[in-house]
Amino acid sequence: MSRPNSTAARDIAHQLHPYTNAVRHAEIGPIVMDRGEGIYVFDDQGNRYIEGLAGLWSVAVGFGEKRLVEAARKQLDKLPYYHTFAHKSHLPSIELAEKLAEMTPEGLSHVFFTNSGSEANDTVIKLVWYYNNALGRPKKKKFLARTQGYHGVTVAAASLTGLPNNHRDFDLPAIPVRHLTCPHFYRFGNPGETEAQFVERLAAELEAVIQEEGADTIAAFIGEPLMSAGGVIPAPEGYWQKVQEICRRYDILVVADEVITGFGRLGTTFGSEHYGIKPDLMVLSKQITSSYQPLAAIMISDDIFKAVADNSGKIGTFGHGYTATGHPVATAVALENLAIIEERKLVENATAMGKVLQARLAKLASHPLVGEVRGVGLIAGVELVADKATKARFAEHGKVGAYVFARAHHHGLIVRNIMDTLAFCPPLIITESQIEEMAQAFERTLDDAAEWIAAGQPAY
């Protein structure tokens, strides 16, 4: 087989890319990234970009961190791989499990490792089913999730996800799940309704669904403390308190999906701290290694662990696991990454720089395209609208966001377009001057978008 000449052509010839229009990709090709340094990445043409989304919401300590490279090298040299099946273990996984048990909220003393957040949420589903069977509750298997929530792309996890393109033509959902109203007051509040009334309405909806389905059939409620991939949607005040109170009353587990909010993103070590969530299960990934290695962790309450462990004794095994569960290189890198976050006080930096980011982006609210600016800590969303007064969306929902995403590259900025919301989630190491640099690049991009719309939205 002959090989295409350019790197981009070789990519087009052989790779199917995630979350990408494959036909469009064949027309325009990839931006091929070559290296990273701090909050910046560089393509193979030498162009520099501010990585305004920290890769995929995940590179806490920035790109090119030599300590993580050395941690991986040392572990590769000593024990490059071993499994954790059948009574085997190794020191990096033991130490990381111990560290996570110390860091996470009280009562989450046990850990199960996977390779990704999607695998972790699939594991949560199986774990909850196994748990309820162990307790003699075979009907208690349904999940409650939210529209616009994101919990992964594997078959079961994607069923929990509440985004149409994760279901469309994949024959999903494939497990019993009910999706509740997205808790986004700007978009889903009724005319004349206060935010407090909105929260009461969502709480009433939750309770009505439980009663309709039967509490004895519902196993768990899963939610991101702050919804991220669905549009960067902070929970309204009092929302999580209402959700938890109702779930506890009906004996429904609470699962906090902290894949994005964990390890400092909101200016607290976990998003559960920010919102006062006391989860039965907590899912962690992304910033656990700054995505230098694939790793995720499920934190398990003592009560759930005991029932699961007892059942494994009864039937002879807990028949679930992955080849790379607790991989020694990944867990070694995670330990060093968490050490850097603590030593360099990156959670505290997220608190301080989060205030700077939110204040700076709030100044964009007067721009003619901006409907809402929202966020907490070092994560934010800027929603673009066709009409600020009515909040009306553009006729072709998502087209303007796609233009802004593409045009931002011209100004040396990478953000994420979620339909017509542009998401920001920079590395936790970002400085005030770098936030200003990022905001100015985005302002120039918004001005370009306004001109593009005025010109009739020509092809780009």
In contact, 181 and 147? CB cutoff 8 Å = yes
CATH of the domain at 371: 3.90.1150.10
Residues of the chain with pLDDT under 50: 1
Select from 285, 308, 343 the last residue of a domain.
343
In contact, 126 and 143? CB cutoff 8 Å = no
Helices assigned H by DSSP within 370-429: 399-410
Select from 297, 322, 343 the last residue of a domain.
343
Burial 119-156 (b: 16+ CB within 10 A, else e): bbbbbbbebbbbbbebeeeeebbbbbbbbbbbbbbbbb
- pLDDT computed for residue 1 by the predictor: 42
Select from 313, 343, 373 the last residue of a domain.
343
**Considering the domain boundaries, does residue 460 fall inside one?**
no
- pLDDT computed for residue 260 by the predictor: 98
**CA atoms of 240 and 224, how far apart (whole Å):** 10
- pLDDT computed for residue 4 by the predictor: 67
Task: Mark whether 104 and 40 lie in a shared domain.
Answer: no
- pLDDT computed for residue 459 by the predictor: 83
Three-class DSSP category at 294? coil
pTM: 0.97
Q: Is the dihedral of CA 93, 97, 100, 102 positive or negative?
A: negative
**Considering the domain boundaries, does residue 200 fall inside one?**
yes
**CA atoms of 27 and 135, how far apart (whole Å):** 55
**CA atoms of 69 and 83, how far apart (whole Å):** 22
Task: Mark whether 216 and 73 lie in a shared domain.
Answer: yes
Three-class DSSP category at 318? coil
**CA atoms of 195 and 413, how far apart (whole Å):** 34
- Cα dihedral 357, 255, 306, 213, rounded to 10, equals 170
Task: Mark whether 151 and 173 lie in a shared domain.
Answer: yes
**Considering the domain boundaries, does residue 384 fall inside one?**
yes
Edge-to-edge strands, sheet with 108-114: 108-114, 296-301, 281-284, 253-257, 218-223, 142-146, 177-180
Show the domain range for 44: 31-61+345-454
**CA atoms of 250 and 322, how far apart (whole Å):** 33
